[in-house]
Structure 1
Amino acid sequence: MKNLEVLCCFFMASKKQGSATRALVVEDIKVDCVILLRILRQLNCEATVAHNGKEAVDLFLEGKTFDIIFFDKDMPLMNSPEAVTKIRSMGATEVKMVGVSADFGGMEAFMRAGADMFVPKPMKFETVDSMLQEVISKKNMSG
């Protein structure tokens, strides 16, 4: 079912703008993950989930690419600031990386690691929408 939802989101978005905006959600808390996925689906975004920083890094090692990544801060195996640093060091400079946490002290860790911005939890529809619009317009200008 999950793959079908991603496929449907991709199909709807590709009809609208040529190619879907691809998001990676790096989140280990199921409720937070479901909320962000629902927002992304409403915004016609193709979304993939990684349950920790290591899974996110592994996706890049497999050659996957994304337009935007939402990272929860504290997770098992590898925290997000560490994952941001590793993904940036692999040459992923175009992807917008967003640190997300209820811990406001997390902003400094994300920015030091190379994230583009920090957003406090809970994520708001309008915040995600404006970030995606920025990514889409940047993508349209470069493509």
Structure 2
Amino acid sequence: MASSLRALLVEDTAVQRMVVSAMLRNQFHCEMTLAKNGKEAVDMFLEGNTFDIVFCDRDMPIMTGPEAVVKIRAMGATDVKIVGLSDDDNAMEAFISAGADDFVPKPVRPETLGPMIQEVINKKLEQLATLA
């Protein structure tokens, strides 16, 4: 069953945006929304957009990933799974302390994302089952 997840990818590097969003769209059938920095992501939440999962790079202009995570969580977006992305091993601590649920080292690989996507799908299915 391909339950389409709404995914937000926050990444300032065009190549990374292209690679990761294609992976999420093609392999995991996610509905993709893209943001170039943390501020764009925060603005999307302020506009009332909702996502099932957010993948967020750490080092971006205007607003970093961890800064965006803090702001998104402060808005009350606690149901969304937020995953930090970085090629810096020290970024994991920054993301987790900011309120992210998980961390993925770059380069991002499908076998790393698969279990996280499945977890969100399972959570959505459980919520649907309790409503039925």
Q: Fold-level match, TM-score > 0.5?
A: yes
CA distance in 1, matches of 2:21, 2:71: 24
Let me know the Cα RMSD of the aligned residues: 1.0
Amino acid at match of 1:32: Q
Match of 1:40 in 2: 24
CA distance in 1, matches of 2:126, 2:97: 28
CA distance in 2, matches of 1:16, 1:76: 35
Match of 1:28 in 2: 12
Amino acid at match of 1:114: G
Match of 1:115 among 100, 105, 111: 100
- Quote how far apart the aligned CAs of 1:16 are: 3.4
- Quote how far apart the aligned CAs of 1:102 are: 0.2
Is 1:16 aligned to 2:2, yes or no?
A: yes
> What percentage of residue pairs aligned between the two structures are identical?
57
Match of 1:49 in 2: 34
> In the superposition, relative to structure 1, how do residues 16 and 105 fare at CA in structure 2: closer, same or farther (>3 Å)?
closer
- Is the partner of 1:16 in helix, strand or coil? coil
Q: Which runs of 4+ in 1 moved over 4 A?
A: none
Q: Which runs of 5+ in 1 are unaligned?
A: 1-14
TM-score scaled to structure 2, two decimals?
0.93
TM-score scaled to structure 1, two decimals?
0.86
Once the two structures are superposed, what CA deviation does each residue of 1:97-131 show, in whole Å capped at 9, x if it has no partner?
Answer: 00000001111110110000111000001111221
Match of 2:65 among 60, 80, 85: 80
CA distance in 2, matches of 1:135, 1:124: 17
Once the two structures are superposed, what CA deviation does each residue of 1:11-56 show, in whole Å capped at 9, x if it has no partner?
Answer: xxxx833xx2000000000111111011111111101000000000
1:39–1:128 contact (8 Å) kept in structure 2: no
- Quote how far apart the aligned CAs of 1:137 are: 0.3
Match of 1:70 in 2: 55
State how many pairs are aligned. 127
